[in-house]
């Protein structure tokens, strides 16, 4: 359904990176964009620049999300908010498990629960779930992040079944490495993370992800773009390790 058939969008994780770029792009397309994030100053600056409607909300606050969704009619939902903490399940801290489940998975489930019935009743809507190649491929570390993103991957497939017979489209976008601050946010060392993960690499930008969102939304009503992987040309996901007994120790 072209942009002209949609009126409003709700974007989470909107104050920086991919979320910020998605808000900018959807505003450019003429949608009324409700931007949700925790960081008030960045969110207000985004609203001043783009005309979006800011909502200072932590997506783990289900009561706040419920109030917001009861006040607006959402045509395009972009579940972008996400956090990550490094480490395997063997070394995971309780707080890290809970935080990632709350933000990466629980909030997405609730936002879909709160918005999909209205989309189905109006026979109009588009859900964009920003996951990760970590939802599909396995690689070392960040085990809880992998699990939560895989949950949203499964949900994205299931939503198509739940909405069958209605013009409600579901798109999952799975980025690989993108030139954003997420690596610094995870480690707490933004300069060190930039040198390790960004500098010298040819990487997609946040704008590239926003353009992909716009591409999926702009398709005719008869077209549902189900899943898109976006990686650097020079990045290859996946791999296979085979160890002899004792090698891992």
Query: 196: buried, middle or exposed (CB in 10 Å: 19+, 13-18, 0-12)?
Result: middle
Contact in structure between 8 and 78 (CB atoms under 8 Å)? no
Closest CA to 64 of 36, 104, 102: 36
Q: Is 196 helix (H, G, I), strand (E, B) or coil?
A: helix
Tokens found for residue 188: 């707490």
- The residues facing 115 across adjacent strands are none
- Distances in Å between the Cα of 11 and the Cα atoms of 27, 88, 90, 149 are 11, 30, 33, 17
Closest CA to 80 of 1, 154, 149, 28: 149
- CA dist 60 and 48 (Å) reads 25
Containing 219, the helix (H) or strand (E) segment is none
- Determine which one of 6, 96, 137, 145 is catalytic: 145
Phi, psi at 39, each rounded to 5°: -85, 105
* Catalytic residue status for 145: yes
Q: Which residues are catalytic?
A: 145
């Amino acid at each position: 359904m072209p942009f002209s058939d949609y009126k409003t969008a709700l974007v989470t994780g909107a104050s920086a990176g991919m979320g910020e770029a998605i808000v900018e792009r959807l505003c450019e397309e003429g949608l009324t964009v409700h931007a949700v994030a925790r960081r008030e100053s960045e969110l207000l600056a985004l609203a001043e620049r783009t005309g979006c409607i800011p909502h200072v909300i932590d997506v783990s606050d289900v009561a706040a999300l419920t109030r917001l969704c009861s006040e607006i009619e959402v045509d395009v939902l972009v579940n972008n908010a996400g956090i990550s903490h490094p480490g395997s399940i063997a070394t995971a801290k309780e707080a890290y498990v809970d935080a990632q489940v709350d933000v990466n998975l629980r909030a997405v489930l609730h936002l879909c629960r709160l918005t999909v019935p209205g989309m189905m009743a109006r026979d109009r809507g588009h859900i964009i779930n920003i996951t990760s190649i970590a939802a599909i491929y396995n690689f070392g570390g960040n085990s809880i992040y992998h699990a939560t993103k895989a949950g949203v991957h499964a949900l994205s497939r299931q939503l198509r079944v739940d909405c069958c017979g209605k013009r409600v489209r579901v798109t999952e976008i799975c980025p690989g490495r993108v030139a954003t601050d997420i690596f610094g946010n995870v480690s707490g060392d933004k300069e060190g993370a930039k040198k390790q993960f960004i500098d010298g690499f040819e990487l997609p930008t946040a704008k590239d992800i926003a353009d992909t969102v716009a591409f999926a939304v702009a398709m005719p009503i008869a077209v549902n773009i189900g899943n898109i992987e976006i990686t650097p040309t020079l990045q290859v996901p996946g791999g296979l390790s085979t160890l002899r007994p004792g090698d891992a120790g």
